[in-house]
Structure 1
Amino acid sequence: MGIPTLVAMLVAALAVIGVLSFREEYSLFVPGLLQGAVLTLQIAVLGSLLAVVMGVLAALARLYGPAPLRWLATVYVEIFRGTSALVQLFWLFFVLPQFGVTLDAFPVAVLALGLNVGAYGSEVVRGAIQSVPRGQWEASTALNMSRPQMLRRIILPQAFIAMIPPWGNLFIELLKSTALVSLITLSDLAFRAQQMNQTTLKTVPIFTLVLLMYLVMSLAITIVMRLLERRASLGLARGRAA
């Protein structure tokens, strides 16, 4: 699906929300749901940034780090891939205080979701780096580059393009996982929808708006990642031509 189609879908979803917000049975819920959507988006953006940082660091540590760092990175990846995001969320929020570490709900949400997705992302980064043709490494060695120089100038720019589509999928999964944060008292989009539904029993208008709001956010992520992929591909093509 091309970018113009995605943009058309995004505009259509926004238009539907706009039209529904003028109908009496929907307009009552729009302000509260928008507030929840803002919190959801904040958690998703900050969690995604943390996920990228942790994914890149863990992948580089596992590939090129000394033995202790490789071991730590492997432990991190296996723990956060092998356990439920919900359990991780509960552990950080309810168990850490038993050890004298108390965090507010918002940083816990960012940490839990960011670390969880970062563990999956580390495999994306590792696979992308290893997919760069061996000849690129040999050419870099022939140019007398150090390993950090090879990674920064030759390997990572090529691997970056291969990382973008799977990272886009992970960001969307993180966005949808934000619905879990309602269980640690955060009033995200899902939490506000549940509260409104319990007090008004207006299930159809509430969850129609929620569905559309999640769709808008996920389409926005997809469009941004597609544009980033296109720009990176063009930049790499220009670099090879030069």
Structure 2
Amino acid sequence: MEQIQLVIESFWPMFKAGLLISVPLMLVSFALGLVLAFILALMRMSKIKPFKAIAWFVVWVIRGTPLLVQIYIIYFGLPSVGLVLDPIPSAILALTISQGAYNSEVIRGALTSIPKGQFEACRALGLNKLQTMGRVVIPQAALVAVPALSNSFISLLKDTSLVSTITVAEIMMTAKGIIAVQFQPLLFYCEAGVVYLIFSTVLTRLQGMLEKKLGKHLVDTRA
């Protein structure tokens, strides 16, 4: 009975930390990461060699090193060169860079999946490159990229647990605080896992609804 009461009492603090910290952190980092991913993807596809080289190097480094190391470099390492960031800005920066590097490959693949004939058709219609990308290429590429980006979005929620190491008070940090008082790590770490599972399940359902809707739209556009 006592353990059940402890679980009930500790659930809301963890769930609240998810609503107020983990989810907003995920949303902001993913949105900024998409912008960075799009820029990196265009640089990778550019004919300007320095742009391609810079984008390739960024993606290579970020994808080849652990996210936890990147978080530590930003939060603990940058102060040694005079750049001091608070925990939440550090977390957002690290998660944004990580998402940008990984999702740039998704976006690049989606953009290159568009048949070259559509570019030629747009050129024949008198559309410039900006109009071609904005009106024709990007809307179609978005439909292709959504499933992979959705998976990345859900994974990002779980990745936010890493920022507890720099004292960001998200779900895992809240669980650690409760454990420090109650001394029952198995119980409360399992409960933290359940909280993450609840949020992930909701996001997975939303992902399925979005993919279903976009799938119908894609069929309609091809019909």
| TM-score past 0.5 threshold | yes
Post-superposition Cα deviations, 1:35-61, rounded to whole Å, max 9, x if no partner, equal 321311121111111111111111012
Q: Cα deviation per residue 1:61-88 (whole Å; 9 max; x = unaligned)? A: 2213633333322222122111111111
Which stretch shifts more, 159-168 or 132-141? 132-141
TM-superposed deviation, 1:93: 0.5
The equivalent residue for 2:141 is 159
**1:220-231 paired onto structure 2 within 5 Å:** 220-231=202-213
Asked if 1:102 corresponds to 2:84, the answer is yes
Q: What secondary structure does 1:29 align onto? A: helix
The answer on 1:33 being equivalent to 2:14 is yes
Contact 1:157 1:236 in 2 (8 A): no
Identity %: 32
1:93-116: CA deviation from partner (whole Å, max 9, x where unpaired): 011111111110001101101111
Tell me which of 6, 18, 31 is aligned to 1:49: 31
Which one is further off, 56-65 or 168-177? Answer: 56-65
User: Does the CA-based 8 Å contact 1:25-1:205 persist in structure 2?
Assistant: no
Deviation at 1:195, TM superposition (A): 2.6
Give TM-score scaled by structure 1 length: 0.82
1:204 Cα deviation from its structure 2 partner: 5.2
The 2-side partners of 1:35 and 1:88 are apart by 27
Partners of 2:33 and 2:55 in 1: CA distance:
14
Please give the secondary structure, in 1, of the residue aligned with 2:83: coil
Q: Distance in 1 between matches of 2:49 and 2:126?
A: 25
Instruction: Give the drift of 1:214.
Output: 0.9
Corresponding residue for 1:91? 73
Bigger drift between 184-193 and 221-230 goes to 221-230
Q: Distance in 1 between matches of 2:210 and 2:46?
A: 27
After TM superposition, give the deviation of residue 134 of structure 1 in Å.
2.7
1:37 aligned counterpart, secondary structure: helix
* CA-based RMSD: 2.0
**1:179 aligned to which of 154, 158, 161:** 161
Structure 2 residue ranges without an equivalent (≥5): none
The answer on whether the counterparts of 1:44 and 1:175 sit within 8 Å (CA) in structure 2 is yes
Please report the TM-score for the alignment, with normalisation by the length of structure 2. 0.88
Equivalent residue, structure 2, for 1:16: none
